[in-house]
Amino acid sequence: MPFAGHAQNPIIQTIYTADPAPMVYNDTVYLYTGHDEDGSNWFTMKNWHVYSTTDMVNWTDHGSPLSLKTFKWAKKDAWAGQCIERNGKFYWYVATFHKKDKNSNGGAAIGVAVSDRPTGPFKDAIGKALITNEMTTDMKYGWDDIDPTVFIDDDGQAYLFWGNGSCKWIKLKDNMIEADGPIHTFKPKHYIEGPWVYKRKGLYYLVYAGAGTKPEMIEYCTAKSPEGPWTYRGIIEGNVENSFTTHPGIIDYHGKTYFFYHNGALPTGGSYRRSICVDYMYYNQDGTIKKVIQTKK
Ligand code: FUB
């Protein structure tokens, strides 16, 4: 359903959206989002949404092609995710919480949904969680296994990064639904959650929500390999309006770099009623990133 999107921030004002994950495919920007449902004390999130644009101004609303109901094993919380295309299929990795059953004691988990189209419909790709809390921690009800970001290197090797508190990663097999090797864990400076990994001019970037001071800011590291070691480079975005979380998503489109994030800036917004915004991002000659100026236009 097309609608007049907003050139000004927040770009989506029909519902509350959070955790932006932009993807460029076939010269179109697809924006995968979480959906805050009017929570006042904590996140109320039951489904994910997709939008698209070809001019960064007029957004088309594709509704919600993925919800908690898609994952029979999921209990609650449709948290952050990212979608990527491989061999004509679209893999959408998302964070949620597992039901208590033979596979899990009920902690955070990462699922993967698949579709033949970027706008869905999506179905559970493997019928179980790809990553469960039990694989990575002895915190039975912990929520450290959230916020997946997926990246395919030039040599075709796919990587999944995720984590709250520490950052974890695995190699993925070519089928995108199985781990290829062990889980690695490391702790970038100030790291909290929300990693976003990409490559530019031979340099790898790991952008994430951190907090040198509370609430969250967006900070980043760079490395010469996706396997690290990662060098801390500083802050990209300071605190955002009216939300203690924020979350990065970065793309290049038509020669410009766009930095997506969320804040609580709608008149009735807040930390549990967030909204996605986008601003330009610029690099210095040496590949470091200039601090993003948050705008309302
Ligand atoms: O939206 C729920 C959680 O808040 C996300 O998983 C985190 O990145 C933070 O934005």
Cβ count near 185 (within 10 Å): 14
pLDDT in tens, 162-207: 999 999 999 999 999 999 999 999 999 999 999 999 999 999 999 9
Q: How much is the pLDDT for 4?
A: 42
Q: Is 144 helix (H, G, I), strand (E, B) or coil?
A: coil
Does ligand 1 come within 6 angstroms of the Cβ of 208? Answer: no
The pLDDT confidence band at residue 150, using thresholds 50, 70 and 90, is: very high
CA 112 to each of CA 93, 125, 206: distance values in angstroms, whole numbers, following the listed order: 4, 6, 21
CA 126 to each of CA 82, 103, 123: distance values in angstroms, whole numbers, following the listed order: 17, 14, 9
The pLDDT confidence band at residue 134, using thresholds 50, 70 and 90, is: confident
Atom number in ligand 1 closest to CA 274: 1
DSSP 77: -
Does ligand 1 come within 6 angstroms of the Cβ of 146? Answer: yes
| 246 CA distance to ligand 1 middle (Å) | 8
| 208 CA distance to ligand 1 middle (Å) | 11
Atom number in ligand 1 closest to CA 147: 6
Residue in the structure block whose two tokens are 């490395």: 223
Residue 21 identity: A
Does ligand 1 come within 6 angstroms of the Cβ of 18? Answer: yes
pTM of the entire predicted model: 0.96
Q: Say yes or no to pLDDT of 286 above 50.
A: yes
- CA-nearest residue for atom 2, ligand 1, is 79
Is ipTM beyond 0.95?
Answer: yes
Q: How much is the pLDDT for 139?
A: 58
User: Is 40 exposed, middle or buried, given 0-12, 13-18 or 19+ CB atoms closer than 10 A?
Assistant: exposed
Does ligand 1 come within 6 angstroms of the Cβ of 247? Answer: yes
Q: Which two tokens stand for residue 295?
A: 């705008």
Beta bridge partners of 91: 84, 114
| 245 CA distance to ligand 1 middle (Å) | 7
Mean pLDDT score, 206-210: 98
| 49 CA distance to ligand 1 middle (Å) | 15
- CA-nearest residue for atom 3, ligand 1, is 79
Q: How much is the pLDDT for 280?
A: 97
- CA-nearest residue for atom 4, ligand 1, is 245
Does ligand 1 come within 6 angstroms of the Cβ of 245? Answer: yes
pLDDT in tens, 4-48: 445 689 999 999 999 999 999 999 999 999 999 977 899 999 999
| 130 CA distance to ligand 1 middle (Å) | 19
pLDDT in tens, 98-116: 999 988 888 999 999 999 9
| 105 CA distance to ligand 1 middle (Å) | 21
Does ligand 1 come within 6 angstroms of the Cβ of 145? Answer: no
Atom number in ligand 1 closest to CA 18: 1
Does ligand 1 come within 6 angstroms of the Cβ of 134? Answer: no
- CA-nearest residue for atom 8, ligand 1, is 194
Percentage of residues of the chain with pLDDT beyond 90: 89
Does ligand 1 come within 6 angstroms of the Cβ of 193? Answer: yes
| 66 CA distance to ligand 1 middle (Å) | 17
